[in-house]
Amino acid sequence: MLLAEVVRTHAAVAATRSRLRKRELLADALRAAEPGVEVEVVASFLSGRPRQRRTGVGWRSLTDLPPHAVEPALTPLDVDDALEELSALAGTGSQAARASAVAELFTLATAEEQEFLRRLLLGELRQGALDSLLLDAIAAAADVPLPTVRRAAMFSALSGPIARAALTDGAAALEHFRLEVGRPVRPMLASSAPDVATALARFEGVPVAADVKLDGIRVQVHKSGGEVTVLTRSLDDITERLPEVVDLTRTLDAVTAVLDGEVIALDAAGRPRPFQETAARTGSRDADAHAGTTPLTVYFFDVLHLDGTDLIDAPARARLEALERAVPPAAVVPRLVSGNPGEVADFFAETVAQGHEGLVVKDLAAPYEAGRRGAAWVKIKPRHTLDLVVLAVEQGSGRRQGWLSNIHLGARDPATGGFVMLGKTFKGMTDEMLEWQTRRFTELETHRSQGGYVVHVRPEQVVEVAFDGVQRSPRYPGGLALRFARVLRYRDDKTPDEVDTIDTVRSLAALPS
């Protein structure tokens, strides 16, 4: 199989909105791959990431690509072998060796393959082939029951091994994927509701567990005797970076355990410090140097295994009782159990006033649905909105090919009379909105950059965006960026002089002007 076939499948999946058609395209590609390693690699590429969790290749390494090949010759296994060699590079001279290896690989790729590989390595493949859709395709391609595939995937960090097992040895091979202490379990995810009343209405008055939603880093902790492993939400091993979590876990009165929780940096008053401080601490490999200045606190909110008993299929009520037996109260996330809308609303207000993100409302009868974003967990966060101005817009790709898509957002700067960029977003845009903004921003165009990819516009169009918070960011001139910004509507009733200021944004981030 050639890499070009994977690239064509990726493009076709990106170009269609039909979930059924996406599944068919993915299943056809999986069937075309050789059973064994090749189908695992192909599935990984189509899920948007390579098998290697770390390659050491960043965007700077991919800014100036070598001349591309004319005819396709690379195979998925060629690329996988090259990435495996890249991931093994370390020490003196590794930077130069990595640059040489990247150049060698990209020289063998056609123009379309170069773009695919660049986006694969940077984690920017957005073709609509979400992992759940790929699992559907694996079931179809291997002719095995979808529940069997999804059950196995709960206990595999990547979908590639699931595809390899299913298409090589069938349903029987998937039975080997089960909960094991030390093996990553995909985290359960929450759906969203705009307010407390809407969230509780989904549970029809039945008491729920309302957990404080912390603005920290999700962690999964495995304990086997004195051995402790700490994993991120993406199931990367960060054990050495979190000595506080390791030390606390070792004190638990349990021989084996798998715990789900959150780590967060708190100030002296117990309020959350800026998210970037938590992220920087968990991202630092020099934990000892930062533990004194940015200590982390862990709060556990679920337990999947305890002393030889798997709890993943047990109702949440039983899991929470087990959690309270295994973990000291100070390390359990603050929680209210109630079905009273007034009580939950008050708890939500208190939680937000303390600086936390909101609540996660949980069905006490539901099992732990690993890797799923279902109805059993519902997150509620206050919605922030700003009126900003569009500074530039980027050419769309995939299904948005031919439209102007990702907009650059700017706040007004009273000190200079200009605008300060706060980030980009393409979230929340309907097809009608994309069509309209393509016409609108073409009319406002002043010049283009990055080979025509970025269209700069006169700062005249006001847009209302919703976002979850503000974070420090060295990427933008104002030093700030909006978290999870999404477009609500374009405001033709407002002028650029009326958009929110950078000082307003700073105040939302609790930063000085």
- Which residue numbers are catalytic? 213
Q: Is 305:311 a contact under the CB 8 Å cutoff?
A: yes
Judge whether 459 and 496 are in contact, CB under 8 Å: yes
Which residues fall within 8 angstroms of residue 12, CB to CB, at 6 or more apart?
Answer: 25
The residue type found at 39 is V
> Any long-range contacts for 59-64 (C-beta under 8 Å, 24+ apart)?
59/122, 61/98, 61/99, 61/102, 62/102, 62/118, 62/121, 62/122
Please give the helix or strand (H or E) that residue 438 lies within, else none.
helix 431-444
Phi, psi of 310 (to 5 degrees): -80, 130
Coil vs helix vs strand at 398: helix
Q: What is the largest CA-CA distance in the chain?
A: 67
Helix (H) / strand (E) containing 150: helix 146-153
36's CB contacts (< 8 A; 6+ apart) are: 164, 168
> Cα(404)–Cα(446) distance, rounded to whole angstroms?
15
Burial class (CB in 10 A: 0-12, 13-18, 19+), 204: exposed
Pairing between β-strand 296-306 and β-strand 358-363 as defined by DSSP bridges: unpaired
Which region, left, alpha or beta, applies to residue 96 given φ > 0 means left and ψ of -120 to 50 means alpha? alpha
SS3 category, 417: coil
Q: Give the C-alpha separation, 477 to 421, whole Å.
A: 7
Q: How far is residue 422's CA from residue 440's CA, in Å, rounded to a whole number? A: 21
Element spanning 418, H or E: strand 418-425
Provide CB contacts within 8 A for 211, sequence distance 6+: 301, 333, 334, 335, 359, 360, 361, 362
Nearest to 40 by CA among 134, 146, 115: 134
SS3 label, residue 18 = coil
